[in-house]
Structure 1
Amino acid sequence: MAGFAHIARPWLLLTRSPMRVPTTVSPYLGLGYSRGISVTTARRSARVETHKTFKRKAEGARRDWNKIVTSEVMNSLLLPYTIVPPPVWRFPRSPIKFARMVWLIAKNRAVSLGSRLSVYLMSMRTNGVGWPKFKSGKKSCIPAAKALHAQMSEAVAAGDRETLRRICSPELFQTLAGAIDARPPGTRTEWELVRYDNKLRYPRIADFRIAYQPLGTSKQMRVLKQAVVSISSVQRLTRYDKSGALIPGSERERYMMEHLVLQAPVKDVTYETGPWQIWGTLPEMSFETMCTDIAIFSEALANQGRNRA
């Protein structure tokens, strides 16, 4: 199941055999494979490599193709430095590592706040004088996450592709639809939310950030809003055979701790936010994972700067 970190509901997929996930492509700007990868990201990357053979075609056509492919992949990238910090009691016991982790989280929050303020200022410039056009809508994240969480779970269980297409990112939809197709024919699945658990602490926003993101190979930028909402719940899954009879031993009740990633585009001029979509889920991060992600992303930025020079 580790390979399904990007897939939002791995235990609902019920495929005939485990899906092997390639480790050659990261779904989000080189922040490390430790937080998951989807099958369709690797497939799209393979298509990009395949179309490199068309370099002998007209230069303008090749640029247009690259923009289309790159923009499609960009739709499903996780924003850099997205974190899901663990509870304080799971911080490293070493005083040095403990202090280092507190510093990394505080720095991360400060950078996130700075990015949010920059978007506010940019929306004020387009508005002239007065309040900024942009509204973060942070209070709506938890209700939206709970609603989408239930809709996606029910849709995966029922095989409702249209609902999944509407509420999931294109990449996640492709993966979930493929997994639904791989189920044994004739079987039926029912999902039920028994209750939300640990209500004093969850659901809560684990990470919230707004950032400018490049659009493909062009110099244009887009604004993307992203929230990670932690949901603790007890869920029940039941399977039925072709005749509609309950499959013995198939009824399972599980405690689930999920960190659901939501993304919404922000319009360039009006700064109106589009509907939330589900990117997937992320695991809780350890101190080692956080340090590794920061190192990988810093190296990627350095390489990008050298390539532009």
Structure 2
Amino acid sequence: MAMASRLGHLAIRTLPTSATRIASWPTADSGSRISARSISTTQPAQNVIRRQLDKTNEKLTRQRSPKVGRMEMESDYVGLLKSENIQTILPGTLVRPPLSRWPNDAKSWVRFLWEILKVRTMEAFVNSGIKFQSKPSILKRAIVRRNKSAAVSAAKALHRQLAEALATGDKETIQKVCIKKLSTSLIATVDARPRGRRYGWELVEYTQQFWYPSIRSFRMVPVLKGKDAPIQKQAVVAISSKQRRVEYDDSRKGQGKMVPGSEKEVDVVEYVTIGAMMDGRTYESDAWKIVGLIKATSPEDWAMERHLSRIVEEGDALQR
């Protein structure tokens, strides 16, 4: 495949995401938060992802007979094109933090800026390569478009749907808007709620609208080596909002009344990560799904990711 494909696949294999950067999902449960550990890309999880991708790649290239082989390949390929089957937030995702969280000394500040510029340059190179590959011919426009405004609209809608579904315990909607791994975790948390408790969530307003919502990262990465590999699209959208959360007591004693002190209004900035799979042959994209929340990347977080990536690279070198 083209250079963009090789670089994208390399990014999946070598850049793990620190566990400390995976955020938890806020709910109305008395201010509690739902853990997103199921989508963490720590080193063990990253190894699982690599083995799954390598196993699928091997299966795609192995044929017992021409007819059976084609059927297996098509079945596996179609499965990879479903956004709900996305495994994790793409490793190496860098979310620029607010300036207040940048290093205080000038040297570290410049070094962190340089790291951000390098990551953005690599992302732009891979994205542009995939866009160029989608051109039917040199003189025709590319099929792939980086429609960031559509990604922002999708993230806002999915974020609101999920928050409302978590409050009401709407499992069907949770499954509809999330990848499988995240929905399984969230539904388990809903099932674990005490009986007789009901929760409410309301989006009061979007805040800081001059700055938010905004795209903090937009990536397109082939998930396998080779021509026509499926492509994972990912957008991290920063959303600033005022939310109201409340808890009700539906027990016989509580009679559906609001639990005293449970009503809270909070101002939050959330980095909502959405993903979608794209067919590497036709460049048709599946619907966006919520992959999880991610924290802004601090200099310490990124230093840890760089350290983990070197460990993975050394392990790959030993295996070769």
Which residue in 2 is equivalent to 1:249?
A: 261
- Give, as a single letter, the amino acid of the residue that structure 2 aligns with 1:147: A
Which residue in 2 is equivalent to 1:27?
A: 40
SS in 2 for 1:221: coil
C-alpha separation in 1, matches of 2:156 and 2:201: 15
Which residue in 2 is equivalent to 1:35?
A: none
Cα separation, partners in 2 of 1:18 and 1:84, compared to 1, 3 Å: closer
The correspondence of residues 254-293 of structure 1 with structure 2, limited to 5 A, is: 254-293=266-305
Per-residue CA deviation, residues 26-85 of structure 1 (Å, 9 max, x unaligned), is 83374x9xxxxxxxx79x99xx9xxxxxxxxxxx9xxx9xx99x9799722221220111
> How far apart are 1:155 and its partner, in Å?
0.3
Cα separation, partners in 2 of 1:106 and 1:256, compared to 1, 3 Å: same
Aligned residues: 271
SS in 1 for 2:185: helix
Gaps of 5+ in 1: 33-40, 49-59
Give the conservation status (yes or no) of the 8 Å contact 2:25–2:33. Answer: no
Which residue in 1 is equivalent to 2:107?
A: 96
SS in 2 for 1:153: helix
SS in 2 for 1:103: helix
> How far apart are 1:192 and its partner, in Å?
0.3
C-alpha separation in 1, matches of 2:293 and 2:232: 17
2:233 is equivalent to residue 225 of structure 1? yes
Which residue in 1 is equivalent to 2:121?
A: 110
- Give, as a single letter, the amino acid of the residue that structure 2 aligns with 1:235: Q
2:183 is equivalent to residue 170 of structure 1? no
> How far apart are 1:302 and its partner, in Å?
3.6
Which residue in 2 is equivalent to 1:9?
A: 25
Give the conservation status (yes or no) of the 8 Å contact 1:13–1:156. Answer: no
> How far apart are 1:136 and its partner, in Å?
2.1
Which residue of 178, 203, 219 corresponds with 1:209? 219
SS in 1 for 2:155: helix
> How far apart are 1:237 and its partner, in Å?
0.8
SS in 2 for 1:214: coil
SS in 1 for 2:87: coil
C-alpha separation in 2, matches of 1:285 and 1:204: 16
Gaps of 5+ in 2: 1-18, 53-63, 65-71
Moved more, 242-251 or 297-306: 297-306
> How far apart are 1:4 and its partner, in Å?
9.7
For the aligned residue pairs, the C-alpha RMSD in angstroms reads 3.4
2:148 is equivalent to residue 148 of structure 1? no
Which residue in 1 is equivalent to 2:310?
A: 298
Cα separation, partners in 2 of 1:156 and 1:238, compared to 1, 3 Å: same
Which residue of 201, 209, 224 corresponds with 1:191? 201
C-alpha separation in 1, matches of 2:42 and 2:247: 38
C-alpha separation in 1, matches of 2:25 and 2:33: 14
SS in 2 for 1:100: helix
Moved more, 198-207 or 167-176: 198-207
Moved more, 259-268 or 296-305: 296-305
Which residue in 2 is equivalent to 1:57?
A: none
C-alpha separation in 2, matches of 1:29 and 1:132: 36
C-alpha separation in 1, matches of 2:167 and 2:20: 17
- Give, as a single letter, the amino acid of the residue that structure 1 aligns with 2:210: L
Cα separation, partners in 2 of 1:96 and 1:207, compared to 1, 3 Å: same
- Give, as a single letter, the amino acid of the residue that structure 1 aligns with 2:167: A
- Give, as a single letter, the amino acid of the residue that structure 2 aligns with 1:138: K
Which residue in 1 is equivalent to 2:168?
A: 158
Moved more, 235-244 or 291-300: 291-300
Cα separation, partners in 2 of 1:129 and 1:301, compared to 1, 3 Å: farther
> How far apart are 1:6 and its partner, in Å?
4.3
> How far apart are 1:13 and its partner, in Å?
4.9
